[in-house]
Structure 1
Amino acid sequence: MSLYDSERRYRRRVWSGVIRFVIYIGVVLAAATVSYEFGAEDIEGQRRMHQEQLLEFEQARAASEQEAANLRVEVERAKLALDEWEKRYNADVPTGARRELLDLVSERLQAGVDPQRLAFYIKSAEEKRDCEDVETKRFLVRTPLYDGANTSVTFANDAVAVTGSGDSEVTDAGLPQAWFDPHKPVTLVFTRIDGQRTEVAGTLPLQQSVVHDGVEHHFLVKAGARGFAQVAAERCTYP
């Protein structure tokens, strides 16, 4: 073996070692690069996941705050509604003297007292006024079968005239009579001397006030003897 061949084998071993080292370094670098890329992708994925979770938390927090605000509004509305119902309750539900009067009225109605008559007496209850003595007269109520004499009366020197009309009373056989039926509505007409008329309709008794020449004429009309309406009048200072 010559010296040249020995040197050539030596160089081959050296280059072979260098190549293996380079290949090793390349494999290491490639593995590191791949590991870095995988690690970077994993970190980026985790970052995106955390961002999404943070966004979901923010949305949930905003929704909770909005729901809380809505609940506060509903609470305020409920308070206002409760205050309104309390006011209506206090205004509508009678207490004290009002309650006692309501109980008395209910008792009278249950006892069979006519509601219109009860309402009439309640309306008639007024404070003491400066009035003259009552003047009482009567007239025949006009019907489809009677429109003759004595169908009107006047008061206060003819200052106010009162007249009325109603339905005829009917017998059990169905025959209409000349006189009016006091259980059916009648129409009363109050005419001042200057021609001004006031009408009031309903079942007797009825009441009406007419003001003329600084005087209030107060009339109470109720059923009298058969065919008659009885009028009680008083003169009061006005106002």
Structure 2
Amino acid sequence: MSYGLYDHHRRYRRRVWARVGKAALWLILLGGVAGFSYLVGVEQLKSREGSMQEELAAMIAAKDKAERRAQQLQQIAQTQEVRANELEIRLQREVPGGELAKLTELMARKLAEGVNPERMAFVIEQTSNPRSCVRPETKRFVLPTPIYKGANTQVAFADGTIIVTGEGVPARNEGGNPEAWYDPTKPVKIRFTDAAGKVQETEGVLPLTHKLITADKEVRLTVGAGARSFVEVTGEICRFP
């Protein structure tokens, strides 16, 4: 009887310990699963944090880039505004308005119609308000050449305050030899000397025109070819201003 009772108690303890072992095994298994889940969660959090930091850095870089671009656009806008103001000022200064615009349009139309621009310039040059002038006077002199530098090679206007002289290219005879008189088909040099000794010179094929201001007078001189060796100078003297 005592043997059977002992065996019963031993089997009972075995079952108890088996249950305890199973419970402990389950606890260990659950602890492992929980630990693994915790580690996985930590790694996910770390990965998520790293991704968020990268995203934040990218957003900050994009913000800085946008601010720099905005500053560049602002500078470009300011530069364009300054250029626009300069162009507006230049346009107002250079594009004619009022009566000048009408005259510009008229000249453009006349040029398109084939009017000679030199003739138009001459007409404009001769156009002025009424002036107080004396009767034009014409004088002539022998135009010097490298071969002839004799007498009667200058004339005076405005009470002797303006001296006109010059130099021409010698004409050539049929044999090609130079003559003493100038060739009116070649350019000449005409010099104008005022009372102060100041010399002005104009050059070209005759006729030539020149204007001088001396004291209270405006002197307009036209130099044209005359008889052989001579040039004729017409002087118009007007009050100035």
TM-score range, shorter chain: 0.7 to 0.9
Match of 2:44 in 1: 42
Query: Distance between the aligned counterparts of 1:238 and 1:35, measured in 2?
Result: 110
| Among 79, 89, 106, the residue aligned to 1:100 | 106
TM normalised by structure 1 equals 0.76
Preserved contact between residue 185 and residue 201 of structure 1 (Cα < 8 Å):
no
- Sort the Cα spacing of 1:84 and 1:192 in 2 relative to 1 into closer, same or farther, 3 A: closer
Query: Distance between the aligned counterparts of 2:95 and 2:179, measured in 1?
Result: 48
Deviation at 1:33, TM superposition (A): 1.3
Query: Distance between the aligned counterparts of 2:12 and 2:139, measured in 1?
Result: 160
- Sort the Cα spacing of 1:188 and 1:98 in 2 relative to 1 into closer, same or farther, 3 A: same
Match of 2:209 in 1: 206
One-letter identity of the residue aligned with 2:208: P
Preserved contact between residue 220 and residue 237 of structure 2 (Cα < 8 Å):
no
- Sort the Cα spacing of 1:235 and 1:208 in 2 relative to 1 into closer, same or farther, 3 A: same
Aligned residues: 232
Cα deviation per residue 1:77-129 (whole Å; 9 max; x = unaligned)?
4455455555555655553112212443x358x5667x4x7645543433333
2:125 maps to 1:123: yes
Match of 2:13 in 1: 11
Match of 1:189 in 2: 191
Query: Distance between the aligned counterparts of 1:146 and 1:90, measured in 2?
Result: 56
Which 5+ residue runs of structure 1 have no aligned equivalent? Answer: none
Which 5+ residue runs of structure 2 have no aligned equivalent? Answer: none
2:179 maps to 1:177: yes
One-letter identity of the residue aligned with 2:212: S
More displaced, 43-52 or 22-31? 43-52
Query: Distance between the aligned counterparts of 1:197 and 1:21, measured in 2?
Result: 130
One-letter identity of the residue aligned with 1:148: G
One-letter identity of the residue aligned with 1:207: H
Report the 3-state secondary structure (helix = DSSP H, G, I; strand = E; otherwise coil) of the residue aligned with 2:238: strand
Percent identity between the two aligned chains: 31
Match of 1:20 in 2: 22
TM normalised by structure 2 equals 0.76
Deviation at 1:32, TM superposition (A): 0.8
Cα deviation per residue 1:50-103 (whole Å; 9 max; x = unaligned)?
332343344334434544554454455445545555555565555311221244
More displaced, 181-190 or 58-67? 58-67
Cα deviation per residue 1:184-235 (whole Å; 9 max; x = unaligned)?
43322223345x1322222231213041xx3325131221314322222233
| Among 227, 230, 241, the residue aligned to 1:228 | 230
